[in-house]
Amino acid sequence: MAQIAFYTDDLPQSRMTRALAAQALQRAAEARGHQLRVLQSSTAADLSGADTLLWASDSAPPAHSGTVMRTSPAELIADAAGVLDRAGLGNTGAVNTSGTTVQTVSAPVTPTSVSAAPATPAPAAATVSSTGPSVVGVTSCPTGIAHTFMAAEGLEGGAKALGRTVKIETQGSVGAGNALSAEEIAGADVVIIAADTNVDLSRFAGKRVYQTGTKPAIRDGQAVVQRALDEAPVYGAATGGDFVAQAAAAKAAKNEAAAGQGLGGEIYKHLMTGVSHMLPLVVAGGLLIALAFAFGGISAEGPFAQALMTIGGGTGAFGLFVPVLAGYIAYSIADRPGLAPGLVGGMMAVSTGSGFLGGIVAGFLAGYIVKWLNNGIRLPRTLEGLKPTLLLPLLGTMFTGLLMIFVLGGPMASALTAATNWLNSLGNTSASVLGAVIGAMMAFDMGGPINKAAYTFSTGLIDSKVYGPIAAAMAAGMTPPLALFFATLIFKNRFTPDEQEAGKAAGVLGISFITEGAIPFAARDPLRVIPSLMAGSAVAGAISMAAGCLLRAPHGGIFVLAIPGAVTNLPMYIVAILAGTLVSTVMLGLLKKPLERNERIVAQEESVATPSHE
């Protein structure tokens, strides 16, 4: 067992990346039976007892008698296991039954303190039985940021509480982290998929696979692990080895495992898979168009401005986002055979003028047509290979394209035109009401179905050059974590020390338009926190829409505001965000009760007993 020390710069704008990198490194170290310490300072850090120093900073590492390896937070998030392997820290060959000890070492501030005493390892959080069944899993959410890693943490904690060894792969926004090897999958007794997007299950054929969403894993990871051990069916057992048939069986198993979601939950998951693949194109296209206007005026004049408009506009990124939305909705429903029909259906939606509404319809149409064809076509075993490579893409593309051109394209185009004209004709009062509704929806469940419905509606309208709703959605999505940041500073007697510390991170997430930063507070006190946040978000959305604020990119938070042309009526947009934050902050102070003296004492003792490992 090796002692590993890890350091990266602790800057406010990179704190979340730092935490995710440390978390990925923790899991990779645990799987190999090593101990990890996270250092807080780069000056004269206490490295006594450390065999290897992983240095993720632009500054020069301190002198160290052991191995020193330079890396980066992004590299660790993407492949922490690979970093350890390159550092010569492969599997020790034994299970680390005590779990990884992660220490936060506060190094002395001055170089004269180098001789500080070695840090004492913290006691293990849980004892994992080496004889218990092995649990592996995958977590994924549409944005690949907060819910992905929160669900992984919930599953890890739940498995360890049940005495199981565990490893969870996170499919985040920067790629797969803590990736599962073929040997680990083969040795596992159960596989847990906690995802709100489609996850490729082909590598888990023949294993017991339990599927659910990220929220159950976040709320009660132990219960999810226990259900998986008790109920998980064998994936692909009822098929004859055909990939498409196995995919169909996996879809059926997913719907059965997602208890209580039903048809609505299935539709939501497919839609979110499409949205998560569409977003990068909308973000890139919107910002490139804004830059084209900044460099070339409202007509984007000049070679450079025209080039930016070509790259980001209808012949570039924006021209692809509806087909990609449709393609990955179909992929989520019917797996790989549904991708080509979905992409072509999305192109037909663009050509018929039905926009993102037509793209959504085309995606579901293509997916379910291919799924129906796969279930209905029966071929001799020797010809089964023709289905996924020839028959399903051909027939699915033909049927989807014909239906979009001759049946659905026209009516969907008319519906989109009517909606666009109505939105463009709204007066200040009507616009403020719509903005308030969008804002309240953004804060109601913060990443859940209602939040995503408002965000998807607003994002899709960008294709029709309607930029008001997405401006309201982003302003409303920024205010909840920002309000909690200010509330924990102003009304300290209403929050525990842990919540006050979490408020700082919520502020960073708020300016980045990551509404999930408010979830821990809402979960602890939903009846007071959620109404407060909804009120402020409704105010932000109403002011944004009434003032005619327009936003050409659907994400980026405060960092987008500095790009010329990205926001129309920027002063009032800032006013909207500040006003919404103020309303929520004041309401939190009014509705949340001050903690009793004994509650504060208990919270302080718990905070000291379980220090943060940020």
Task: Compute the distance between CA of residue 542 and CA of residue 173 in angstroms, rounded to an integer.
Answer: 31
- Span 452-464, average pLDDT: 83
What CATH code is assigned to 135-257? 3.40.50.2300
pLDDT of res. 343: 96
| pLDDT grade for 440, boundaries at 50, 70 and 90 | very high
Determine the Cα–Cα distance for residues 469 and 475; give it in Å rounded to an integer.
Answer: 10
Taking the alpha carbons at both ends of the chain, their separation in whole angstroms is: 23
C-alpha to C-alpha distance for 3 and 89, rounded to whole angstroms = 10
Which of these, 151, 147, 103, lies nearest to 125 by C-alpha position?
Answer: 103
Q: Tell me the pLDDT band of 38, cut-offs 50, 70 and 90.
A: confident
* DSSP-H helix ranges across 139-261: 146-161, 182-187, 214-219, 221-231, 243-257
User: What's the mean pLDDT when you consider all of the chain?
Assistant: 78
Instruction: Determine the longest span between alpha carbons in the chain, in angstroms.
Output: 79
389-398 pLDDT, tens digit per residue, is 889 999 999 9
What predicted TM-score, i.e. pTM, was given to this entire model?
0.55
- Comparing 47-51, 493-497, 537-541, 597-601, the range with the smallest average pLDDT is 597-601
Task: Tell me the pLDDT tens digit for each residue of 121-169.
Answer: 333 333 333 333 479 999 988 765 678 888 888 898 888 888 888 899 8
User: What ranges make up the beta strands (E) of 173-323?
Assistant: 175-177, 190-195, 209-212
Residue 608 pLDDT: 45
pLDDT digit string, tens, across residues 84-110? 888 888 765 433 333 333 343 333 333
The residue extents of the domains of the chain are: 3-110, 135-257, 262-412, 428-609
579 vs 315 pLDDT, higher one = 579
pLDDT at 141: 81
pLDDT tens-digit map of 322-345: 999 999 999 988 888 899 999 999
Q: Which residue(s) pair with 550 in the sheet?
A: 568
Catalytic, out of 38, 80, 141, 166: 141
Query: Using an 8 Å Cβ cutoff, are 208 and 191 in contact?
Result: yes
Percent of the chain at pLDDT exceeding 70: 79
362-399 residue pLDDT tens: 999 999 999 999 888 888 766 767 787 889 999 999 99
Whether the predicted pLDDT of 404 surpasses 90: yes
Fold match between 3-110 and 135-257?
A: yes
Question: Please, which residues have CB within 8 angstroms of residue 453's CB and are 6 or more apart in sequence?
Answer: 441
Q: Is the pLDDT of residue 533 over 90?
A: yes
**562 — pLDDT class (breaks 50, 70, 90):** confident
Does residue 422 carry a pLDDT above 60?
yes
| pLDDT at residue number 203 | 84
* Annotated catalytic residue 141: yes
pLDDT at 77 over 80: no
Cα–Cα–Cα angle for 69, 74, 77, nearest 5°?
A: 95
Is it the case that residue 609 has pLDDT exceeding 50?
A: no
Please, which residues have CB within 8 angstroms of residue 368's CB and are 6 or more apart in sequence? 333, 334
How much is the pLDDT for 476? 93
Which comes out higher in pLDDT, residue 248 or 588? 588
Task: Tell me the three state secondary structure of residue 191.
Answer: strand
The pLDDT value given to residue 117: 36
Question: DSSP character for 61?
Answer: P
Spatial strand order of the sheet with 209-212 comes to 175-177, 166-172, 135-140, 190-195, 209-212
Angle between helices 468-490 and 428-444 (to 10 degrees): 60
Under CATH, to which class is 3-110 assigned? alpha beta
Question: Which tens digit of pLDDT belongs to each residue from 271-319?
Answer: 888 888 887 888 788 778 878 877 877 677 889 989 988 998 878 888 8
477-491 pLDDT tens trace: 999 999 999 999 999
